Structure 1
Amino acid sequence: MNILESLEPAVVWKYFEKICQIPRPSKKEEKILAYLVSFAEEHRLEYKQDEIGNILILKPATKGCEDLESVVLQSHVDMVCEKHSHVKHNFDKDPIVPKIDGEWVKATDTTLGADDGIGMAAQLALLASNDIKHGDLECLFTVDEETGLTGAFSLKKGFFKSKILLNLDSEDDGELFIGCAGGVDTVATFEIQMEETPLNCFAFKMDVSGLKGGHSGDDIHKGLGNANKILNRFLWNASREYGLRLNKFSGGNLRNAIAREASALALVPTSQKEPIRVAFNIFYDELCSELEVTEPDLRMHLESCDIPDSVFEKGFQESLLNSVYACPHGVIEMSRKIEGMVETSTNLAAIKQEDDKMIITTSQRSSVESAKEDIAAMVRSVFELAGAEVKHGEGYPGWAPNTDSEILNITRESYERLFGEAPVVRAIHAGLECGLFLEKYPKLDMISFGPTIRGAHSPDERINIETVNKFWLHLLDVLVNIPEK
């Protein structure tokens, strides 16, 4: 492709562009894993792979650095696969097409996969190098971080030996992360009940689009629109005011992305044909006003369609719309310990109609375990009151900050010396695999850092070019300042 060949550091961008050509959806990472194995063999590097797919590639210390402590560098191989609804792109087969847009690199109408392709690229650049000083390196590539943290959950004790871990999965230049939130998924399943369509009806399709979406951890505090909540708000009111009946309702996609699009097929009595159009246009204007700062590209559309043979049974429709309306979404609590940090949040991620079931996926996050359990129970209670079957996922632990960390001091001093300003040290509301690593390796000293990525988990994902070079220089400097054994 060679679209990024003019950017610095050239070696990192070279491998990032190569990674873009290899499909790597979560749970379908076999192609990128095969590439990593062939890379290790080509460079005559020792490697091993566990039963779940995690790969560890080892590189001995360079001359003069043999006495440094060994370090494990870690990133995940999978990416979030999101695209605009009108785009034809098969993430199982098609490459990501990067492009340079001013000071950013972004993809063409899809997620870019800089989360965490850029971390992988930095690891490969180090492994392939002949002139970079470093101690013993262990490069850990984990699978399925985005949809279940499967690789981190399944990692066995003793898979790597290092006591220092650099997680390369953060998205803010100038910020060092020493903690993260834990999370859990809550999924509600309704048995869809249908009945015959009433006579003398007007049928129409409506949709919500143009929202930014984004990461359900990093972006949850930004006041972004949630397409599921927006469309449900109209449906709930219209069912009471105009006798609206539903045939279909779906929106959102992934549990860790804020819903960008939603659609529904509905009908009203013929006498309400014009009133429902007027109400829809008024609602659209109101939402544009409410969200003019955060969602300037909001789009809502209504058009007539063929009348379906059946609609949701009235009691089921009421339970569904009530529960989606009542389900919390967004920030629940800000941290009392770290100013400006979200402590607890929840994301109404996806509503999917599958055969005779309506499946509603939500995700909860908190840096406080009891608060995480509380918000998950709150969401559960909403849907159980509506008659749904509700299940929680396995969940994952948070990573408690250690302000006395030696690798924190090294990384902070390095950044300040290189770039003339002190980095911000904080915890992140998004989930990282570090909490799970700490369960298996309780003596690990960890830090997470990376270049600036915006719009992660959405087609607007982009990575800042200048900060990739800073990230690379910072990483190299940290490696030569690792303490001796």
Structure 2
Amino acid sequence: MNAHLEQLSPQPLWRHFRTLCNTPRSSGQEAELVAILERWAEQQGLEHDRDDFGNLRLKKPATPGHEQAPGVILQGHLDMVAQANADHPHDFTRDPIETYVEAGWLRAHHTTLGADNGLGVAAALAILEDDTLVHGPLEALFTLEEETSMGGALNLGEEWLEGDLLLNLDSEDRGEVFIGCAGGADIVVEVQLPTAETGLDEVALELSLTGLLGGHSGMDIHLGRGNANRLLVRVLRVLEAYDIRLASYRGGTLRNAIPREAFATLLLPQDECDAVERRIGELEHELRAELAGVDDGLCLTVSRLESPPAEALNAQASHMLLAALNVAPYGVERMSSSVAGVMETSNNLGVVSLEQGRFHLCALVRSLRDSAVEAMADRFRGLFDLIGARTRVENAYPGWTPAPDSALLARFERLHLQLVGREPAVKVIHAGLECGILAGKYPHLEMISFGPSIRGAHSPDERVELSSVEEFWCLLRGLIEDLAAAPAADRA
């Protein structure tokens, strides 16, 4: 599968990316890939080991004569976001990612591509096998479960890594270098709500809101795209005028992806069906007009169910839940006052479900300030206390504090100007890179993050610009060779 990848340039990088595409590697299911990489390392004569969590490290000694150069750690995560279009039967535990090239971009058929962070991992592997490259001591650190919990970084072994400099290969814009990122946390809300049996005069309707672009819940949150959970709850609030009761709901599958689809089953009096169906048609027209030019694919449909569910939320519980969801925080909360043009705090209403009265919500809050994450969690707690729900914070991780005077950054800027013809834009990213966590465990490390241009990450629209991969590879090789010439006293 994906043999065409080996015809792309740079060939060593794409050969390794082919292996990643052909190996299922959703978060928590990286074991097969780890075993493949360990066998590959043994064939290459590279040292390899794992920490207690299972993060993988590969090591390569310095080119003779460059043993005193600062040690460089190439870092990326092995897992990928598993998202497929609802009408595409893809099993992420078994099926390979099917890729194709279109107009200078690599894409996948109806699923996420896994360029985030597969290209960074593939680049590190290609560097390790490149015997023409002059380099100091090299380590490649491949973490697990980054996309779901940052589990690999949070549980990384301490006093394990040996390098002085860390190159995070998990950012997504050519011509840019990142020196800071937001921290974040998951906010989980759960409650068992009271239900009532279906009445003799009640019928069931199934509502589907589909066709949205979705995207990365940090880097795309400011673009004004539709969030399926926000929009379908808005529809349901309008339909309360027809005495509906909510029976079930499911929207979004990942807390770090803007939800593209949401589905609800509701009960209502039989004599209101025709009016509801007409109103849904009007609401679809309204929503499409609001999202025109930003998210043009919205589709809102309704169908009657032959067999209604045995129960739904009682009228009061249904009203209270929809009211709470309608006012729940979402989107960009605040822009940074210290870094121009950078979002400080945002929240993604990522996963919402209701089944047999059991309600579950998982939102992802991102911020440059830990205090803002705590404040957002308290807003959720205060809101959902009103319906008797329990709110907890999980998987919290720190941000990465920018170091604009870093010698490593200065070296990269000079190299970028030399190789690309212009200096890179120095940025702080509104996404959860692992650098903040790694800095907490290894405070001596100097770090930067850079990568090729990836668009639509965390959605089936994910794609990578082929020419940017060649530029990324050139910069990575050039930087490693440049650092190999640095004396031990010059930590960058």
Q: Specify the TM-score bucket, using the shorter chain as the normaliser.
A: over 0.9
Q: Is the contact between residue 216 and residue 256 of structure 1 (CA under 8 Å) also seen in structure 2?
A: yes
In 2, Cα distance between equivalents of 1:355 and 1:56: 45
What's the CA shift string for 1:160-211, capped at 9, x where partnerless? 1111000000011111000000101101002032211123234211101111
Letter in 1 for 2:445: L
Q: Secondary structure at the match of 1:11?
A: helix
Given the alignment of the two structures, is residue 484 of structure 1 paired with residue 487 of structure 2, yes or no? yes
Given the alignment of the two structures, is residue 127 of structure 1 paired with residue 137 of structure 2, yes or no? no
Deviation at residue 352 of structure 1 after TM alignment: 2.0
Q: Secondary structure at the match of 1:132?
A: coil
Equivalent residues in 2 for 1:191-270, closer than 5 Å: 191-239=192-240, 241-270=241-270
Q: Is the contact between residue 5 and residue 15 of structure 2 (CA under 8 Å) also seen in structure 1?
A: yes
Please tell me the root mean square deviation across aligned C-alpha atoms, in Å: 1.2
Equivalent residues in 2 for 1:111-150, closer than 5 Å: 111-150=112-151
Q: Is the contact between residue 344 and residue 367 of structure 1 (CA under 8 Å) also seen in structure 2?
A: yes
Q: Is the contact between residue 253 and residue 350 of structure 1 (CA under 8 Å) also seen in structure 2?
A: yes
Q: Is the contact between residue 380 and residue 391 of structure 2 (CA under 8 Å) also seen in structure 1?
A: no
Letter in 2 for 1:315: Q
Q: Secondary structure at the match of 1:353?
A: strand
Given the alignment of the two structures, is residue 290 of structure 1 paired with residue 328 of structure 2, yes or no? no
Report the equivalent of 2:360.
359
In 2, Cα distance between equivalents of 1:275 and 1:145: 47
What's the CA shift string for 1:333-381, capped at 9, x where partnerless? 0111122111100010011235552111111010012112112211222
In 2, Cα distance between equivalents of 1:185 and 1:234: 26
Unpaired runs of at least 5, structure 2? none
Q: Secondary structure at the match of 1:100?
A: strand
Q: Is the contact between residue 248 and residue 356 of structure 2 (CA under 8 Å) also seen in structure 1?
A: no
Q: Is the contact between residue 334 and residue 343 of structure 1 (CA under 8 Å) also seen in structure 2?
A: yes
In 2, Cα distance between equivalents of 1:345 and 1:325: 17
Residues 280/356 of structure 1: CA separation in 2 closer, same or farther (3 Å cut): closer
Q: Is the contact between residue 249 and residue 355 of structure 2 (CA under 8 Å) also seen in structure 1?
A: no
Q: Secondary structure at the match of 1:260?
A: coil
In 2, Cα distance between equivalents of 1:394 and 1:74: 21
What's the CA shift string for 1:413-445, capped at 9, x where partnerless? 111111111211011010111111111111110
Letter in 2 for 1:262: A
What's the CA shift string for 1:443-462, capped at 9, x where partnerless? 11000000000111111111
Equivalent residues in 2 for 1:291-330, closer than 5 Å: 291-306=291-306, 307-330=308-331
Report the equivalent of 1:375.
376
Report the equivalent of 1:401.
402
In 1, Cα distance between equivalents of 2:299 and 2:316: 30
Report the equivalent of 1:349.
350
In 2, Cα distance between equivalents of 1:126 and 1:155: 23
Number of corresponding residues: 484
Q: Secondary structure at the match of 1:477?
A: helix
Deviation at residue 44 of structure 1 after TM alignment: 1.0
Deviation at residue 128 of structure 1 after TM alignment: 1.4
Deviation at residue 251 of structure 1 after TM alignment: 0.5
Deviates more, 1:64-73 or 1:117-126: 64-73
Deviation at residue 249 of structure 1 after TM alignment: 1.1
Equivalent residues in 2 for 1:7-26, closer than 5 Å: 7-26=8-27
In 2, Cα distance between equivalents of 1:94 and 1:130: 33
Q: Is the contact between residue 168 and residue 448 of structure 2 (CA under 8 Å) also seen in structure 1?
A: yes
In 2, Cα distance between equivalents of 1:385 and 1:109: 40
Q: Secondary structure at the match of 1:393?
A: strand
What's the CA shift string for 1:239-293, capped at 9, x where partnerless? 1x11112211110011111111000111322221221111111110000000012
In 1, Cα distance between equivalents of 2:4 and 2:452: 20
Residues 354/143 of structure 1: CA separation in 2 closer, same or farther (3 Å cut): farther
Letter in 1 for 2:219: D
Report the equivalent of 1:427.
428
Equivalent residues in 2 for 1:462-477, closer than 5 Å: 462-477=463-478
Q: Is the contact between residue 193 and residue 313 of structure 1 (CA under 8 Å) also seen in structure 2?
A: yes
What's the CA shift string for 1:18-67, capped at 9, x where partnerless? 11101111011111111111111111111111111111100111244333
Q: Is the contact between residue 248 and residue 353 of structure 2 (CA under 8 Å) also seen in structure 1?
A: no
What's the CA shift string for 1:310-349, capped at 9, x where partnerless? 2211122112111110101100001111221111000100
In 1, Cα distance between equivalents of 2:442 and 2:465: 33
In 1, Cα distance between equivalents of 2:381 and 2:464: 36
Q: Secondary structure at the match of 1:220?
A: coil
Q: Is the contact between residue 104 and residue 463 of structure 1 (CA under 8 Å) also seen in structure 2?
A: yes
Q: Secondary structure at the match of 2:272?
A: helix
Letter in 1 for 2:25: R
Deviates more, 1:54-63 or 1:396-405: 54-63
Report the equivalent of 2:184.
183
Q: Secondary structure at the match of 2:5?
A: coil
Equivalent residues in 2 for 1:88-103, closer than 5 Å: 88-103=89-104
Q: TM-score, normalised by structure 2?
A: 0.96
Q: TM-score, normalised by structure 1?
A: 0.98
In 1, Cα distance between equivalents of 2:441 and 2:205: 54
Letter in 2 for 1:365: R
What's the CA shift string for 1:66-96, capped at 9, x where partnerless? 3321100100011110111111111111111
Deviation at residue 235 of structure 1 after TM alignment: 0.6
Q: Is the contact between residue 311 and residue 356 of structure 2 (CA under 8 Å) also seen in structure 1?
A: no
Unpaired runs of at least 5, structure 1? none
